[in-house]
Amino acid sequence: DAGITQSPRHKVTETGTPVTLRCHQTENHRYMYWYRQDPGHGLRLIHYSYGVKDTDKGEVSDGYSVSRSKTEDFLLTLESATSSQTSVYFCAISDLGGGAAETQYFGPGTRLLVL
């Protein structure tokens, strides 16, 4: 596996509480992504980063914010968790350009339950 870790791996929280998920990589890849995976929807992009302090929205960004202060860390924050944010969250990295294969490597996932 590529050097990607996610923490926590499992979390149960209550509606209205803030939640932060962390993605840490040791590959020094430029691009980092946050996806959520739900039955029938596949993988949907929440936010992504193309460099330190450079982030952009994905297709399901409402209710989520991100930060990237270091190459290796990409944080996803649910400002006020809702039950609709119950999901499995995956972090991914890639190092595009330069003729390299555009392989995207995924972390092990974080299972979040919002009660």
Partner 1 sequence: QQQVKQSPQSLIVQKGGISIINCAYENTAFDYFPWYQQFPGKGPALLIAIRPDVSEKKEGRFTISFNKSAKQFSLHIMDSQPGDSATYFCAALTTSGTYKYIFGTGTRLKVLA
Residues that bind partner 1 (CB under 8 A): 31, 33, 35, 40-45, 48, 50, 56, 58-59, 90, 92, 94, 96-97, 101-109
Nearest CB to partner 1, comparing residues 16 and 61 = 61
Give DSSP secondary structure letters for 3-65. SEEEE-SEEEE-TT--EEEEEEESS--SEEEEEEEETTTEEEEEEEEEETTEEEE-TT-TTEE
Task: Give the shortest CB-17-to-partner 1 separation in angstroms.
Answer: 26
Nearer to partner 1, 14 or 56 (CB): 56
Nearest distance from C-beta of residue 75 to partner 1, angstroms:
18
Cα angle, residue 17 at apex, residues 36 and 12 outer, rounded to 5°: 60
DSSP category for residue 84 = G
Nearer to partner 1, 75 or 106 (CB): 106
Query: Rounded to the nearest whole angstrom, what is the least distance from the CB of residue 109 to partner 1 in the complex?
Result: 5
